[in-house]
A = this chain, B = another copy of it.
Amino acid sequence: MKQRITIRDVAKYSGVSSATVSYVLNGVDKVSTETKERVLDAIKKLNYQPDFTAISLSKKKSSILGVMIPLIGGSLSPLFKEDHYYTEFISGFEHVCRENGYDLLISGIENPEDCKNWVKKRNLDGLVFLGLFPKSLYEEMKTLQIPIVLIDIYGEYEKHFNSIKIADELGGYLATKHLTELGHRQIAFVGPPQKQSPVVSERYQGYKKALKEANIPLDKCSTFECDGNMESGYQIGEKILQSGKVFTGIVSNSDILAVGIISALQKNGIKVPENVSIVGFDDLAFSKYVSPALTTINQDILQKGEIAGQILIDAIENSSAKMEHVTMPVKLVRRDSTETLRK
């Protein structure tokens, strides 16, 4: 069995103590230039690779960041499976992690205890919460001594953690205004229950605002509640048709939902955008290529992931770092799922 090259091997080879090697490795300014060179030489010659496990143990710092994703039914939320949001976010996050020597651990979390234990057992240095978790979890997290970033979370817990979100209300507003400007006056809003998700609530506020500006009474429109996945969008699409009400415009809380809705409408002979215009939200990678290409509210998810990583790493390495609350911009991207109202 091939033995691992340890710091002591390097020490022996270069004729110094292991402490000196460690100092060289950590850039502690205590070592003479020649010794340093000898050590670095030995490291190269022996192809020494530090063992992060040992470093973690003694420094109590793992250089690992955790990405927490809600579990539903014991499995990563169905959303994870179908929503590019997660992968785009993780791509950005991973990039920053890698560039700074951190690794990322992904885990589904079912209850607060699990999460806390997970952090403890792995000595995680930081955490990002990707998705909506029960309140008790945030409560538990307060007692954790590591930086945490909440993504897309509103409410009381913002105070206690770093947070990144987007201009959700503006997004809802822009989406709706786009439709009113195209002449639509019967506009439905589709999304998960606002009580569950403040993000939806924010977007809904924007929706209401745009309706008001266009002098459209709220009672001419309707809100449809559903889960966040495509299947749910499909079902809500059918429900809209069965509702008896006629809508010429739909504001969807996500592209994922929009795709499901469009699928249901088209299956029932309703054409998008000829009969119904629909605006999505997120501008996922695939939204440009579905048919019709989605008009949607763009957010830079990749960058969101990068910022999350930066905030965490900054907080870890720079103890004077302040709590961060970032609100990222949104913009309307016009494609083919919306058009001027036909008389």
| A residues with CB within 8 A of B | 2, 4, 49-54, 56-57, 62, 64, 74-76, 80-84, 86-88, 90-91, 94-95, 98, 103-108, 117-118, 120-123, 145, 230-231, 233-234, 259-260, 262-263, 266, 284-286, 288-293, 302
Cβ-defined partner of A107 (8 Å) among B53, B98, B259: B98
Cβ-defined partner of A75 (8 Å) among B62, B81, B91: B91
Q: Write the nearest CB–CB distance from A236 to chain B, whole angstroms.
A: 12
Q: Are A87 and B81 in contact (CB under 8 A)?
A: yes
Q: Write the nearest CB–CB distance from A139 to chain B, whole angstroms.
A: 17
Q: Are B230 and A286 in contact (CB under 8 A)?
A: yes
**With A76-B94, A80-B91 in contact, is A266–B291 under 8 Å at CB?**
yes
Q: Write the nearest CB–CB distance from A163 to chain B, whole angstroms.
A: 23
3 A-B pairs with least C-beta separation: A82-B285, A263-B289, A53-B56
Q: Which residue of B lies closest to A103 (CB)?
A: B105
Given A75-B95, A262-B291, 10 other A-B residues pairs in contact with their CB atoms under 8 A = A49-B117, A51-B57, A53-B53, A53-B122, A76-B90, A103-B118, A103-B122, A104-B105, A106-B106, A230-B285
User: How many angstroms from the CA of A75 to the CA of B309 in the assembled complex?
Assistant: 14
